[in-house]
Homo-oligomer: A and B are copies of this chain.
Amino acid sequence: MTVTETETTGASADSCAGPPQGDRRPDGEDRYTISEVVALTGLTAHTLRWYERIGLMPHIDRSHTGQRRYSNRDLDWLALVGKLRLTGMPVADMVRYAELVRSGDHTYTERFDLLQRTREDVLSRIAELQGTLAVLDRKISFYADAGRALASERTR
């Protein structure tokens, strides 16, 4: 038994990286040009090619003339990458994760650990941001008070 396909076919973990994010074609007709992927993801064509060069993407299918044709599965992967990027995860770490996925089943625990660590990072970053929010709120209310004081000053 293997469960690798469920990871790489987009039928499971990788496919749940967000809402359908519209304008996809059904599987089977999913051969997007690079500019379509630009429109769907918000990344630039440069960045998409660069992701491929550094090993952050699997090898992308090509047309008979050598142009890239992205699949729905590639879009799923890009959606996950986008999410991981939001966490501040370095690109090198995402490449590492991509390598693990490529290497097959025996990397499951390693992937699990990496995700778990990332999860912890996200939690602590959220906590940091909430601390910052508290500071901002204090300063904002300070300025609001100061503004009122100056306003009442002017009307006196």
Given A112-B147, A129-B86, decide whether A138 and B16 contact each other with a Cβ distance below 8 A.
yes
Q: Is B12's CB under 8 angstroms from A135's CB?
A: no
Q: Is B105's CB under 8 angstroms from A135's CB?
A: no
Which residue of the partner chain, among B7, B13, B140, contacts A138 with CB atoms under 8 Å? B13
Q: Is A132 an interface position by the 8 A CB rule?
A: yes
Q: Is A62 an interface position by the 8 A CB rule?
A: no
Q: Is A80 an interface position by the 8 A CB rule?
A: yes
Q: Is A133 an interface position by the 8 A CB rule?
A: yes
Residues of chain A touching chain B, judged by Cβ–Cβ distance below 8 Å, are: 1, 3, 6-7, 12-14, 16-18, 80, 83-84, 86-87, 105, 108-109, 111-112, 115-116, 118-119, 122-123, 125-126, 128-133, 135-140, 142-144, 146-147, 149-150, 153
